[in-house]
Amino acid sequence: MADRTMTVTVSRYDPERDSAPYLQPYQVPWSEKTVLLDTLQYIKDNLATDLSFRSSCRMTICGSCGVMVNGEPRLACKTIMGNYQQGMVVEPLAFFPVERDLVVDLSHFMECIEAMKPFIIGNNRVPSDGPNRQTPEQIAKYHKFAMCINCGLCYAACPQFGLNPAFLGPGATALGHRYNLDSRDCGSTQRLATMNTQDGVWACTFVGYCSEVCPKHVDPAAAVQQCKAAGALDFVASVLHCQKKCKEGSHGHAS
Amino acid sequence: MKRTNEPVFWGLFGAGGMFTAICAPALILVLLLLPTFGGTAALGAFFGTTWGRLFLWLFISLSAWCGLHRIVHCLHDLKLECCKGAHTLIYLIALLVTVLALYGAFATCG
């Protein structure tokens, strides 16, 4: 790091010692190439060895280092310090329970991902059938939604998740939608059952901030709206008792 | 898992928003311009037809469903959900507007 310094204020919280989180300023060096994750590591190495934060890949792949930077959900490894020369306040991801310092409890998010059954369902192909090929068009349908790295930034940006912690949320919905759009999958009925509950996709009011903060441009807001349209059709089908049945053998082959 | 009936209201909300967004600017423009060019009689004649009456009914009722559904969600956003009855009351108002608009559009003859 270079000799220029700036003030970074970090939210600190030790549940065994503190009754509530508090802000602690640190004077840190920075250069044009310094990212927030470097700075947090500098603070841990030199100024506050007990600082807790999550990180792993350092290259926007693992989704571990999500924090609030001046109130905006961001990945620490993708936040360039030079853009915050006037100062920076780093806090844990909003709306999640704080475990310690910048570490939040992501249990609800993980449970939502599990509820979405993010795997191919109902495809009874066997290895002897050969590769389960798809056309570029079939892949393009879901590819954008497959880019999610489960960082949780969209949840920290979602005012509805802030109001209702039971909300299925944008990230898990995008993941479920990714499998619903996959030509090899036949599990949309199971996922739509979860999406069509009061705390499912219908809690969303299309604020759209989740898509703005997504570091992988997944556009979870679009996924939620498309799930609403699919859910509305599913609702009509349930009223008319004509729910679409996935035909055995109708999937899994590139056409 | 209990299925929510929100798709019904979301559908009316979406239909109302779309219908209003497309038709309201055109309607406002027509209502402003036609009297200037002496087309009031033509406008009156159109709203006297079945299509004209249907348009008026859909325009008024769907706008009401759109706006009132938005208010239901605003109550949630502003943490003003005092009771479930508030939602029912708001949707009953939308239903009332729908029925009155239907009566106004079709039962009265010019």
10-residue averages of pLDDT along chain A (255 residues):
85 97 97 96 98 97 98 98 95 98 97 97 93 95 96 97 96 97 95 95 95 97 96 91 57 43
Query: What pLDDT is recorded for position A249?
Result: 43
Domains of chain B, each with CATH number or no CATH: 7-107 (1.20.1300.10)
Q: DSSP alpha helices (H): ranges in A55-167?
A: 107-115, 136-143, 153-157, 159-163
Query: What pLDDT is recorded for position B7?
Result: 94
Chain B CB contacts of A236 under 8 Å are 7
Q: How confident is the model at residue B64 (pLDDT cuts 50, 70, 90)?
A: very high
Q: Are residues A67 and A49 in the same domain?
A: yes
Distance CA A209, CA B38 (A): 48
- The answer to whether the CB atoms of A197 and B3 lie below 8 A apart is yes
CB nearest to A235's CB, from B7, B73, B77:
B7
How many angstroms separate the CA of residue A186 from the nearest CA in chain B? 20
Q: Are residues A132 and A19 in the same domain?
A: no
Of A47, A69, A104, which marks where a domain is finished? A104
CATH of the domain at A117: 1.10.1060.10
| Termini Cα distance of chain A | 54
Query: What pLDDT is recorded for position B41?
Result: 82
What single letter denotes the amino acid at residue A93? L
Please say if the pLDDT value at position B42 is more than 90: no
In which domain, by residue range, is A64 found? 4-104
- Residue A129 lies inside a defined structural domain of this protein: yes
With a threshold of 0.90, tell me whether the complex ipTM lies above it: no
How many angstroms separate the CA of residue A22 from the nearest CA in chain B? 27
Tokens of B22: 């497309």
The interface residues of chain B toward chain A in range 45-84, judged by CB-CB distance below 8 A, are: 73, 76-77, 79
Query: What pLDDT is recorded for position A228?
Result: 96
- The answer to whether the CB atoms of A232 and B11 lie below 8 A apart is yes
Query: What pLDDT is recorded for position A243?
Result: 62
